[in-house]
Amino acid sequence: MNWLKKFSFNIHSKSVQFFLIAIVLFWIKTYVTYRIEFNLGIDNSVQEFLLFINPLSSAFLFFGAALLFKKHWGAALIAIQFVLSFWLYANVVYYRFFDDFITWPTVLQLKVNGGQTESALSLMTPLDILYFTDTIILLSLLGFKVIQLKAASTRKLAIIPMAVAVGIFMFNLSLAEADRPELLTRSFDRNYLVKYLGAYNFTIYDGIQTARSSMQRTLASSDDVTEIENNLKANFSKPNSDYFGKAEGMNVMYISLESLQTFIIDYELDGQEVTPFLNSLAHDGNTFYFDNFFHQTGQGKTSDAEFMMDTSLFPLSQGSVFINKAQNTYHAAPAILKSKGYTSAALHGNYKTFWNRNEFYKALGYDHFFDATYYNMTAENVKNYGLKDKPFLEESMPLLESLPQPFYSKLLLLSNHFPFAMDEGDTDFPAGDFGDKVVNQYFQSANYMDQALEEFFENLKEAGLYDNTIIVMYGDHYGISENHNDAMEKVTGEEVTSFKNAELQRVPLFIHVPGVQGGVVHKYSGQVDVQPTILHLLGIDTRNYLNIGNDILSPEFKEIVPFRNGDFITPEVTQVNGVCYATDTGEPIEDEQCRADDQIAKEKLEISDRIVTKDLLRFYQPDGFVPIDPNDYQYTNGTKD
């Protein structure tokens, strides 16, 4: 312990005071940020205490590392402090829209998702400079020589604050595990991890989990498939004989309705229907309209919805499967339909690298990918993340008509995207008056989408495609986040509680099958259930595919909808943040059924995660299915380099 004798600091030294000032400023700033920016759901005094102390372990750990720089430790501390502040602020901006925290896979997504500057800037305010106040204070103390620092006499001094960090963290973790058993092994919700462990400790944990996922694929084998196969086949819902094969040989067309939530269907603003065309489809009796259909997306949002629609698997709990698992083998609908003579195409008014689509669509088996290079991307035609809906759908018509039939196609709309601002002349529909600019603009944006769809349906009829095409339209994810609950209470006329927010995750699903009578379907269902539903309509039995979802039209369909964070909803019970509610009343209850359904929901998520993270479908080949090797797959055409 001779190195301790060289310790030139003492509790009264300016150096120690500077170190402690940095700790305290960072601690207070982080805690205040937790309270004002993040909706973490503090339920008791233990959780409040943990939220208060968890920044300390991170502060001692990272600031202690600055002492490794000896003579320049002060500059290193400020640099580390700035990086941590920037990371915290990045999470603040991200959370303002996504109600979620940044993960390492999310960081990788930023490399391929250009065009997000407008949305990010709209979430920032001038007061956000306050998140860097502690950095400014520390720089001022040194710059104006209020404090002059001594060099750290030895790098071993870093052991002291790091040991303190470990001690605080272990104390923190023990209390967290007592309040939330199996926190690190069973939690699907990042809110829980940040609430109990802190944003910075969560980032470390997330890095470990990301590396672990990569290792899982390396160690996986065909033996991992047997248990999963038995489970999924035991829970298979056989097709409804009234509908099975009724659309055999027809084209299939998916249309992703960007950010559209079900509350907008049949909603009137100042006596005007916001979505009159979609309303007419919901009630015309010729279209299946699912009014208890929920999005189940995670951090991948639109790409997650695409993934579920094509594969009947859940997306990842962290990051986007499009980014992190593009080399996997999948039993996706485009690949399945190849053996039936189908041509497949994806059409999107943004560039091919967004969400890594140019690579991931290969894994799904798409023959063509028509990206922005096939469209007239003039300034007046572009909004948010790409081409506006009206020119996109109009310019997509000749591309669709050029496809050999039967075809499986997917069109992704973009205009109804946060922050929902409309260009002058796009729509004359009035904005809302709910005290929130984003919510007010949502009604105009949704109306513009509705107009575009009505025009597109007329074009399909004129082209002769309408009478031979299953048209599937779905909301991909929520549009209005919890940050706008005050305005949403005015929109819905109800208090937006945690339970009500779960209900607001409904998104529309329309399935129009030529010659088949439709109607409103009240079954509780989710995005993983659509692929087997459509394949059964086409006469393809999915019994031998490892699907998580089931045919919604089946009389055996089980109405339980797991959300990606581990919550779930059924017609009887709803679980949000570990609290069980009666679905019909929204009242908290103690219910054995809730615990049983919780196990089912968790099991579905876990099975899907094992399939995706371990790439297990490379070991399983249903009869007649030809696997796609994304490393050796080329589009027939439809992409431009």
Picking from 454, 502, 507, the residue whose alpha carbon sits closest to that of residue 482 is: 502
Any idea which residue has 């944003």 for tokens?
199
Bridge partners (DSSP) of residue 494 are: none
Which tokens hold the place of 157? 């001094």
Query: Which residue is it, tokens 């919901």?
Result: 282
Alpha carbon distance 414, 452 (integer Å): 11
Q: Give me 296's structure tokens.
A: 């189940």
Tokens 């949305």 correspond to 119
Q: What is the rounded CA–CA span in Å between residue 368 and residue 566?
A: 35
Tokens 């010659």 identify what position? 515
Is 533 among the catalytic positions? no
What are the residues whose beta carbons fall under 8 Å from the beta carbon of 579, sequence distance 6 or more?
498, 588
Task: Decide: 12 and 137 in contact? Cβ < 8 Å.
Answer: no
Give CA torsion, residues 525, 530, 534, 540, to 10 deg. Answer: -100
* Residue 254 β-bridge partners: 410, 472
In 3D, which of 62, 57, 126, 120 has the Cα closest to residue 92?
120
CB proximity list for 353: less than 8 A, separation 6 or greater: 112, 114
Quickly list DSSP for 22-81: HHHHHHHHHHHHHHHH------SHHHHHHHHHHHHHHHHHHHHHGGGGGGGHHHHHHHHH
Across 367-406, b (16+ Cβ under 10 Å) vs e yields bbbbbbebbeeeeebbbbbbbbbbbbbbbbeebbeebeeb
User: Which residue out of 302, 427, 542, 639 is catalytically annotated?
Assistant: 302
Q: 615: part of which helix (H) or strand (E)? A: none
How would you class 285 by CB atoms within 10 Å of its CB: exposed for 0-12, middle for 13-18, buried for 19 or more? Answer: exposed
Helix (H) or strand (E) run with residue 158 in it: none
Catalytic residues, by residue number, are 302
